[in-house]
Structure 1
Amino acid sequence: MKSAKLYDKSFDCFIESKKINLAVKRLAKEIKTDLQEEIPLFIGILNGSFIFTADIMRSYEGNCEISFLKLASYEKTSSTGIVNQLIGLNEDLTNRTVVILEDIIDTGTTLQTVYDLLKKEPVKQLKVATLFFKPEVFRKELHIDYVGFSIPDHFIVGYGLDYDGLGRNLPDIYKLSN
């Protein structure tokens, strides 16, 4: 079994890159089927979603645009419960179909912050796509339209997700060893 060591923590391979790639292609197809002729504005939530966002863009078979929001809520392996907005949007969202791209949704605190920011805007429709979803710890009343993987409440790294800055470059997903 593949493993990774980041700082003082050990991680075991949890989801291989081939499965991730298939899930991303499936999500891109679902979004395109759902939106049909719309030209979505994808909003990637940095830093974690940058690889997922790039792969969705490459897999999306239609016209689309991209922007990013940078939010932070994690410290080491746990959520602080406080979401800080570090970089905001500059685009006019009037009558736009917006698709939020999240790497992972656990408690939903970050997603709630994004919703609160975007509900002030006159968007045509707002959709959410996440590669990883932890339903057992999700605490918000928000709709998630597209889910790549529903996973247990493991701390994971790789494919853009990190442990204190390290591990984002791992092509597979690794979970914290017990």
Structure 2
Amino acid sequence: MQGVQGEELEVLLSAKDIASRVESLGKRITLDYQNKPLILIGILKGSFIFLADLIRAIDLPVAVDFMALSSYGSSTKSSGVVRIIKDLDHSLEGHHVLVVEDIVDTGLTLNYIYGHVKSRGALSVKICSLLDKPSRRQVAVPLHYKGFEIPDEFVVGYGLDVGERYRNLPDVCKLVRANG
């Protein structure tokens, strides 16, 4: 598949495979959170498509909130510096929290989020990520629900971007730069 500026895109995970896995995760989460007040926190912007599909696969009443953080900017490598761009709007006290992330890479951003959310009075905090890239992990983070483990490749699509491009692709694709 041809991208922009000479970039090539190779499908790593098809829309069909993603949909099947999201449905499976939704069923597990439904079973795990029966009769528990649950808030899903989507980490913007990358998780919004995954969160939208996941929430429809969860057969429970749930609340939703969002956080936006940055550690990438327009680069394809994490800077390691995490900053909050948008914090939560609602109290987490008395609720179980499921943080929904698009990808766990170094673990630095998610480690920060996990600690930040735990300090807000939630009954429990668990993490659900569509993608896991363990070969890049610098900080151990508890990953309770995982869609797919992927190799150390920069990926786009299904909400993930580079420079705000490719979020709308239905598949998760490996980004191959024109110069290698």
Same fold by TM-score greater than 0.5: yes
Counterpart for residue 9 of structure 2: 11
Q: How many residues align?
A: 176
Q: Which runs of 4+ in 1 moved over 4 A?
A: none
**1:50, distance to aligned residue in structure 2 (A):** 0.5
8 Å CA contact 1:6–1:167 kept in 2: the answer is no
Partner of 1:145: 144
Find the aligned partners of 1:106 and 1:116 in 2 and give their Cα distance: 17
User: AA paired with 1:41?
Assistant: I
User: Matches of residues 1-178 of structure 1 in structure 2 within 5 Å?
Assistant: 3-74=1-72, 75-177=74-176
Distance 2:136 2:75 in 1: 18
Residue 122 of structure 2: SS of its match in structure 1? coil
Quote how far apart the aligned CAs of 1:137 are: 1.2
Deviates more, 1:152-161 or 1:135-144: 135-144
Structure 1: give runs of 5+ residues left out of the alignment: none
- Percent sequence identity over aligned pairs: 37
Residues 37 and 94 in structure 2, CA contact (< 8 A), matched pair in contact too: no
| TM-score, structure 1 as length reference | 0.94
Kindly tell me: are residues 17 and 33 of structure 1, through their superposed partners in 2, closer, same or farther at Cα, counting changes over 3 Å? same
The 3 A distance-change label for structure 1 pair 38 and 7 is farther
User: What is the distance in 2 between the residues matched to 1:175 and 1:5?
Assistant: 11
Q: Contact 1:106 / 1:135 at 8 angstroms: preserved in 2?
A: yes
- The AA in structure 2 aligned to 1:82 is V
Alpha-carbon separation, structure 2, partners of 1:46 and 1:7: 25
Letter in 2 for 1:129: C
In structure 2, C-alpha distance between the alignment counterparts of 1:77 and 1:9, rounded to whole Å: 13
| Bigger proportion of residues as strand | 1
Contact between 2:40 and 2:63, CA under 8 Å: does it hold in 1? yes
Q: Give me the TM-score of the superposition, normalised by structure 2.
A: 0.93
| 1:120 to partner: Cα distance | 1.6
Give me the CA root mean square deviation.
Answer: 1.2
In the TM superposition, residue 113 of structure 1 has moved relative to its aligned partner by 1.4
